[in-house]
Chains A and B, each alone.
Chain A
Amino acid sequence: MSYDTVVVGAGLAGLTAALRLSERGQRVLVVARGVGATHLAPATVDVLGYLGDTQVASPAASVPVLISSSPNHPYAHVPAEQLETSLEWFCTKTAALGYAGNLDENLLLPTALGVPKPSALAPRSMSGGDLRAGGRFVFVGLKGFKDFHPTLIADNLNHARLPNPIEARALELVPPSSRRGDLSGRVIAGGFDTEDLIDWLAGALEDRVDPDERIGVPAVLGLRSGDATWQELEKRLQRKVFEVATLPPSVPGIRLSDVLSSALRTAGARIVLGVRAVGARAKGGRIEAVEVVNATGTVSYPVSSVVLASGGFASGGLELDSFGATRETVFGLPLIGLPNTDRVRFAPHYFDAQPLATAGVATDDQLRPVDASGSPVYENLHAAGAILGGATPWKEKSGTGTSVATGYAAAEAILTPAPTPVSEAVR
């Protein structure tokens, strides 16, 4: 089968690029070793949370500052208005999850460890946890569910530096007898989809929460029914309820991946997991086919364009071998952000500035990976998401925002290529 575009990677960046392309009529194939990091992240869209050590209140105001100080940052290659367009587009595509928020001000949501984290967008089932206004909060745990610790969250938040004072406490509920034991978030969420766990939860909370308390529950209110369950719960309790991220697996992350994947299927794209893109057949500076290893061996898919969204070190898009060499694992692209000496690869403390922190591919303004001279390696190869160098997403809190913005921008670059400047020779 021939495809217009092959997207390598099924994380947020890959799914975003693939969906944008297929809804505009392209035949798209997504190939990936497995599902992406969506399943580990809390499904918020974090555009920019920190500039250095300063918390960012408005990503719209701070992204330009970031770009001027880090000209290699992926955002520097996303056309200014496209950051906003991409988020608006994202919200329409994920309407079933009802994303709330905007680029002008960050929400401040509690993480699974009770750290306030700035995010531009969050599913509306989570956005009620915004800590900025202060107030009283109760965090509800379930006995036997080891991936959510309400006391830890409440304690940490009571000690956190916040714009307005808050008062947080923990409450532990004992699940109904049919649901006791070693619980996983995925299984509880399945319970909300198929059974009347909501009756139990609403009943158990009714008398134990004060009228002025906001109720934080683990983000397990259903895989398919999450948003509906959340709405119903608020209605029944007549209180503000919000889901809080749990330790992985992340149910909101799975919901996001499911919504995007199913939109992709509807748009006619094909997703193949458990295979490995291993290289390209190229001619005259263009990729003619992507080579993929499946059950039989290597097959090649002829293409017009390629989006590389294979992730960073954590997802296997980048690899550091035991001799200190770093490589991009699919096409062997040139990398930036590598330390000069191969002896110092790690700083002694985990949270120190790590020498390899900004490693990744550099691109031009069409998100095409470039070589040291700044020219595109392949005319029709674009990159998106964590494979891009020049950023420290875990410090900046910019990972998911980068994925959506660059996934979208890569698709746009394919759909409407910038006019190629007429070269000297032709003139």
Chain B
Amino acid sequence: MNSLIRDSLDHCVKCTICETYCPVSQVTPLFPGPKYIGPQAERYRGAGPPADSSVDYCSGCGICTQVCPHDVKIAEINSRARAKLWEKRGVPLRNQMIARPTVIGRLGTPVAPLANWALHNRAVRGLVQSVVGIHRDAPMPSFAGRTFQSRARRHRGPAGAPAVVYFHGCGTNYYEPLVGEMVVAVLEHNGFRVIVPPQDCCGLPLQSNGNFPAARTYVRRLVDRLVPHARAGLPIVSNSTSCGLMLKREAHEILGIEDDDLKLVSESMYDLCEFLLHLHDRGELRTDFMSLPMTVPYHAPCQQRGHGIGKPALDLLALVPDLHMIELDVDCCGIAGTYGLKKEKYEISMAVGERLFKEVTATGSDLAACDSETCRWQITHGTGVKSVHPIELLYRAYGLDRRTRAGSVSPELQTARVSG
């Protein structure tokens, strides 16, 4: 295993900075905080699992690692300790389930109306909470019925244009295929041909639920699908900040995968907004934006900040006439992937999100923007305010929701109006 992560604990000077930022330890005494559970406890952990299970209350948001001035890989240390804990105890069924969005997606998609009814039915959710352990009130997306993959297969992009590869992640595939179509439309509007390779989950939920072996299998399979394109020198973009980060860094740093294919893929990975901003830097982004006279609060999710790329969404949206974005100054929405779904953590996740919810509500806007899908669902759950990926605002500013370009976007998308 990559011992650089563990060795980083020696850099800890006990400055407590991570403690002051950990959103979880601020709202619950069940989690003693990053310094204790990370570098301090790790020093005494042998090869075996952690002696107590409080590390399971770390949400894996990664904020501690971002703020630590001494490069201690706290969140990564925690993630590995969690994996050892579950290795010993066996990953509970609930965690196995929610960690496999592709499986759930495949089961739910064909029976979307029924599955959606069940997902939003109080009685069913009560039963699910007591039997499975997913909190009855936790935000659940709806199955879209037709996956993004199946839509993409029928879509013909412009031939001969320069190509870009699109890694859409499972959220887009099963729950928000329209976001995927907007990504394609915006990229095509900028003169690209979009390749959508067949793809499965990146393994991140498995990793954060402590099942490293299965996570490695998933990420390897995904890398195999993407690497031919990376070898051909094509950029790979993702609108899912957490999945993108998995390929950029976590598969290597946390799962400890050392291989050239992964390295190549991670060097070719771009967050969607990062990619578009690079285009703009080179003067290649179309700026035929229409005016969008509205005020929209923006939350940069923890995983987005983990990329270390600033806030390209804000830089891009600043190009849109009359669109006023409010940069929210709150670290975490609380959901942290699948963390906030769990019945014993739901309250914690809502308490963490409270400040963000208040700030969103205080803007009085009926629309918020955020790059990560689970965070969007959480924001909407906590505030009732609709939350969209920044691409949705760009899509609309380009007027793509009004333009009818026969065959270029699906009929559903042409009629879909961005609310706001």
Contacts and interface: CB of A to CB of B under 8 A. Distances in A.
A127 B67 CA distance: 29
B69 A315 contact: yes
B312 interface: yes
B26 interface: yes
Contacts of A262: 329
Interface string B303-323: 001111111100100000000
B12 to A, nearest CB: 12
A285 B281 CA distance: 25
A294 B308 contact: yes
Contacts of B7: none
A35 interface: yes
A70 to B, nearest CB: 28
Interface stretch (A43-51, A180-188, A361-369): A180-188
Interface residues of A, number: 38
B248 A1 contact: no
B69 A186 contact: no
A29 B314 CA distance: 14
Interface string B251-285: 00000000000000011010000000100010000
Interface string A315-348: 1100000000000000000000000000000000
Interface stretch (B14-22, B96-104, B287-295): B14-22
A29 B312 CA distance: 12
Contacts of B70: 33-34, 316
Interface residues of B, number: 37
Contact of A297 (B17, B245, B267): B267
Interface string B239-252: 00000010011000
A8 B281 CA distance: 22
Contacts, number: 96
A36 interface: yes
Nearest to B14: A248
A254 interface: yes
B309 A186 contact: no
Interface stretch (A87-95, A197-205, A272-280, A415-423): A272-280
Contacts of A265: 327, 329
B68 interface: yes
26 contacts: A1-B310, A2-B281, A33-B69, A34-B17, A34-B71, A35-B17, A35-B67, A35-B69, A186-B20, A187-B26, A248-B16, A249-B15, A249-B17, A249-B19, A254-B20, A265-B329, A270-B311, A273-B67, A274-B67, A276-B71, A293-B308, A295-B248, A295-B306, A296-B269, A299-B309, A316-B71
In order of increasing CB-CB distance, the 8 nearest A-B pairs are A294-B308, A274-B66, A34-B69, A275-B308, A295-B249, A295-B248, A249-B16, A186-B20
Interface of A: 1-2, 29, 32-37, 39-40, 181, 184, 186-187, 190, 248-249, 254, 261-262, 265, 270, 272-276, 292-297, 299, 314-316
